[in-house]
Homo-oligomer: A and B are copies of this chain.
Amino acid sequence: MYNYPKTLEDLINSFSLLPGVGKKTAERYAFSVINNFREEEIEELISNLENLKNLHSCPSCGSLTDSDLCSVCSDDTRNHRLVMVVEDVKDLFAMEKLKDYNGIYHVLHGAISFSKGVSVDDLNIDSLMTKAANDQVDEVILATNATLEGETTARYLKELLNDYPNIKVSRIAYGLPVGSALVYADEMTLLKALEGRREYK
């Protein structure tokens, strides 16, 4: 029985580790690298992977950065007393794409989950509470996901922040996604949308 040359087989196995990539797709990627990538493109991919070791958590907010502080925390034009708490770095990037938010972030790296065994000790909470204790925060926006885990985490943080009555704590709104039809919304969303109704002017 014939096998791929080991070099090729190894690369296919590496690509198979990517999310949603099975054997067939991994083969396609490997052949594409062999046949279609220019030599310098392969070198670039290699050095880009090697450079990943320069990426680390921003000590202030927990976001990803390759310098001392992340580009949000090192930006003096932003309001550092307004802190949005998100579960994941990806949430931060999604929010930043809006180009609307001018505060800073705090990345928890997860949410409290009993089923996944994630407890508060696994989350990046300390540096947020330090900022709160040092009176560096006016408002905390809890922007964890609208899931059981996100809600539990938001609730837990709210309890902690109750110790600082000067800090306003808000939660992003639940409701119908823009562009969606009421008829397709699930019951929980409808309930929350009704609960969160506001005067229509």
Binding site for B on A (CB under 8 A): 1-8, 10-11, 13-15, 17-20, 27-29, 31-34, 36-37, 41-42, 44-46, 48-52, 54-55, 64-67, 70-72, 89-90, 93, 96, 99
Contacts and interface: CB of A to CB of B under 8 A. Distances in A.
Contacts of A1: 96, 99
A66 B7 CA distance: 7
A11 to B, nearest CB: 4
A72 B3 CA distance: 9
A10 B55 contact: no
Chain A contact surface mostly: helix
A42 B45 CA distance: 12
Contact of A51 (B3, B7, B41, B66): B7
A17 to B, nearest CB: 6
Given A8-B64, A49-B11, A28 B19 contact: yes
A5 B37 contact: no
A52 B18 contact: no
Contacts of A8: 55, 64, 66
